[in-house]
Amino acid sequence: MPAAEVGDLLRPLAPQVLGAVVRRYGHFDLAEDATQEALVAAAVQWPQDGLPENPKAWLIAVASRRLTDLLRSEQARRRREGAAAERALTERGAAQVDERRPGEVDDTLVLLFMCCHPSLSTASQVALTLRAVGGLSATEIARALLGSEQTVTRRITRAKQSIKDSGIPFALPGPDDLAGRLQAVLRVLYLIFNEGYAATTGTVLVRVDLAEEAIRLTRVLHAALPDDTEVSGLLALMLLVHARHRARTAPDGSLIPMAEQDRSRWDRSLIAEGTAVLTAALPRGPTGPYQLQAAIAAVHDEAASAEATDWPQIAALYGVLRRLDDNPVVALNHAVAVSMIAGPRAGLERIRQIEADPRINADRRFHAVRAHMLEMAGERAAALDAYRAAARAATNLQQQRYLNEQISRLADCS
């Protein structure tokens, strides 16, 4: 089996295996280490030996055996705790495979809610879940959260220790606790999807496997909570945005801006599904940020061409969204919509209102949007400087490539 196919198989299996090991044995931090070692073993052995009959059971068995070894090592340092844990493993059977009963809750969803336990800060909830469920690195998480890698690493370490100390059971929260954890869960799924939609690092722009895993988890959540309008809104948003992914890159992997995309390549079945989910949710209210973002995505998807886009409606929706969500990315997108209606200088005036915000003013998106508006306003030298700042801030190869092409184009015209 080719190594690339093994990698595609392991990504969705990773959180399921971690969830199964944590559910059976506890020890979140050691279970994650054991799961990672099982994944490495699979990446080495499966391309050579072939795929096992039950890949997930194979991974769980290997991770369980490795967890036994880790607990024995822990015993040397903390004898009493390690001995008790080892007895528990012996009683349950370290190599027991995962034979899920029909109708049993997906371990990945339980793991998602466990990582979003209220004993953790919101920032720690998001960072830990992106690591354990989304499989993102500390660098990718830092980019997604507009923070530093060192801060993210500390949060993940503290969150694992908090879970270990608290003895949080591996189970879905009860009805009274569900609402408190749901917002963090939704934000985590949103961030995982965003990393799939536009990868912050690496050589590819779109990580389809990551985006589709976020959609899968959100479908599971939506099936469990069909009447929650923001869960519906998030699912609709993902479907409506992911529908465009085939048109976002050229055959060589380079970025294609939305205005230049071949809209015949947009997935109309996903657009129809996303629109139906959103249409069913909106009348039930209240209308939250995810529903508003889904509505914006739907307006884009409905336009037959870039020129036919209903920018006044998009600007109005962003205006409502800004009142609900103090997010500089929302403000930046609002500025783009305003510029499409009132011209680039109107957009630049709005950008000036957020240029002192440290959450966005060092980000590639801020400089790239500003560069485009400056170019449209005829300020080529300033646009060239802004494109250079965007290229320096970009950490994805395809984004760097696109921005450097804009720099070369403008420099040649000077």
pLDDT at residue number 78: 53
Asked if residue 3 has pLDDT above 80, the reply is: no
Give the tokens for residue 289. 């940020």
User: Is there a domain that residue 227 lies in?
Assistant: no
* CA-based nearest residue to 375, from 360, 389, 385, 364: 385
Predicted confidence at residue 91, as pLDDT, reads 46
Last residue of a domain, one of 101, 118, 133: 101
Examine residue 323 and state whether it is found in any structural domain, yes or no.
yes
Q: Which of 219, 215, 197 minimizes the C-alpha distance to 207?
A: 197
Q: pLDDT, tens digit, for every residue of 203-254?
A: 999 999 889 989 988 998 999 899 999 999 999 999 999 999 999 999 999 9
Its sign, for the CA torsion 162, 164, 166, 172, is positive
Most confident of 21-25, 222-226, 345-349: 345-349
Task: Determine the Cα–Cα distance for residues 21 and 35; give it in Å rounded to an integer.
Answer: 8
Residue 383: the pLDDT is: 97
Least confident range from 177-191, 297-311, 315-329, 385-399: namely 177-191
Residue-wise DSSP of 68-131: HHHHHHHHHHSHHHHHHHHHHHHHH-TT----PPTTPPPHHHHHHHHHT-TTS-HHHHHHHHHH
The percentage of residues in the chain with a pLDDT greater than 70, rounded to a whole number, is 91
Choice among 29-43, 94-108, 365-379 with the minimum mean pLDDT = 94-108
pTM: 0.80
Report if residue 192 sits inside a domain.
no
- Whether 205 is in a domain gets the answer no
Q: What CATH number is associated with residue 327?
A: 1.25.40.10
Tokens of 411: 């420099």
Residue 33, domain extent: 1-101
Last residue within a domain, chosen from 101, 135, 165:
101
Measure CA 341 to chain center.
31
**How many Å apart are CA 75 and CA 331, to the nearest integer?**
53
Q: Of the given ranges (193-207, 243-257, 374-388, 389-403), which has the lowest mean pLDDT?
A: 193-207
pLDDT-based confidence at residue 2 (cuts at 50, 70, 90) = confident
Last residue of a domain, one of 101, 125, 152: 101
For residue 160, pLDDT over 70 is answered with yes
130 pLDDT exceeds 80?
Answer: yes
pLDDT at 142: 84
Residue 89 lies in a domain: yes
pLDDT in tens, 52-101: 999 999 999 999 998 888 777 766 555 544 444 444 444 444 444 444 44
Quote the number of domains for the chain. 2
Q: What is the mean pLDDT of residues 338-350?
A: 98
Q: What is the mean pLDDT of residues 167-192?
A: 83
Res. 178 pLDDT band, cuts 50 70 90: confident
**317 contacts 292 by C-beta, under 8 angstroms:** yes
Q: How many residues does the chain have?
A: 414
pLDDT band at 106 (very low <50, low <70, confident <90, very high): low
- What tokens appear for 82 in the block? 């390690």
- The 3-class secondary structure across 316-384, one letter per residue, is HHHHHHHHHCCCHHHHHHHHHHHHHHHCHHHHHHHHHCCCCCCCCCCCHHHHHHHHHHHHHCCCHHHHH
Residue 396 — φ and ψ, nearest 5°? -100, 135
pLDDT value at residue 189: 93
- Residue 293 in any domain: the answer is no
pLDDT band at 286 (very low <50, low <70, confident <90, very high): confident
Domain-located, residue 287: no
Residue 264 lies in a domain: no
What distance, in Å, lies between the first and last C-alpha atoms of the chain?
52
Mean pLDDT of all residues in the chain?
Answer: 88
Q: Which of 35-39, 289-293, 341-345, 372-376 has the lowest mean pLDDT?
A: 35-39
The DSSP string of 7-60 is HHHHHHHHHHHHHHHHHHH--HHHHHHHHHHHHHHHHHHHHHH---SSHHHHHH
